[in-house]
A = this chain, B = another copy of it.
Amino acid sequence: MAASSERILVINPNSTQAVTDGIDRAMEPLRMPGGPEIECVTLKEGPPGIETQAHVESVVAPISAAVKSRDNDCSAFVIACYSDPGLHAAREITTKPVLGIAECGILAAMTLGQRFGVISILKKSIPRHLRYVGQMGVADRMAGDRAIGLGVVELADETRTFSRMAEVAAELRDHDGADVLIMGCAGMARYRDRLQRHVGLPVVEPSQAAVSMAIGRSRLHW
């Protein structure tokens, strides 16, 4: 396969274009001449944000359809929502690599510290995250999962958002013993550098972690 035919499709399962745009900007360092193209798309069928189990479930079929429809011209897929919706369903559809950002965020964090903390947006997502950590078999590596607890409107306030992230990061570090942090959402890469400096721990941006893994897997065809 010529390099030019490689393309990683990053699917943002929520319908908020601004989130896709944020992911797209976060991909910039991962775009290399001669490397796979990285295309970020918005799942128009998705809800504005993935906040409930119902939201998670609602995007599985559209994600599968997107993978199917792009299987011919893509060499790898990334599902860019921290609940990894439809990951195993998509893996049935294509023989190409399919990676989830929660999965890859956690795996990357495991190379950066011994106990990871997760910065979630909403408290009600935490049991879902915990079920996933159990499914991955890595519960002993998790220090904690805490929510910033901001709604969509509040998230538009970047100062407030960063301030809450920093607070939660410090709690994960000081109270739960985390030595590496994972941003438990997509589209917030713009805060990563500042947060890492602020809290003094490595911070994993999960979309970048997933696409990083997808580049190699796209090249290797396994």
Residues of A that sit less than 8 Å from B by CB: 3, 29-30, 32-35, 52-54, 56-58, 60-61, 64, 86, 88-89, 91-93, 97, 99, 103-104, 107-108, 110-115, 126-128, 130-132, 134-141, 144-145, 177, 179, 192, 196, 202-205, 208-209, 211-213, 215-217, 219-222
Q: Tell me how many chains of this kind the complex includes.
A: 6
Residue of B nearest to A104 (CB): B111
Given the known interface contacts A103-B111, A126-B177, A127-B179, the answer about A202 and B217 at a Cβ–Cβ threshold of 8 Å is: no
Alpha-carbon distance A196/B204, docked complex (angstroms): 32
Residue of B nearest to A33 (CB): B34
Quick check: B144 and A92 within 8 Å, CB to CB?
A: no
Quick check: A203 and B222 within 8 Å, CB to CB?
A: yes
A213 partner residues in chain B, CB cutoff 8 A: 108, 111, 212-213, 216
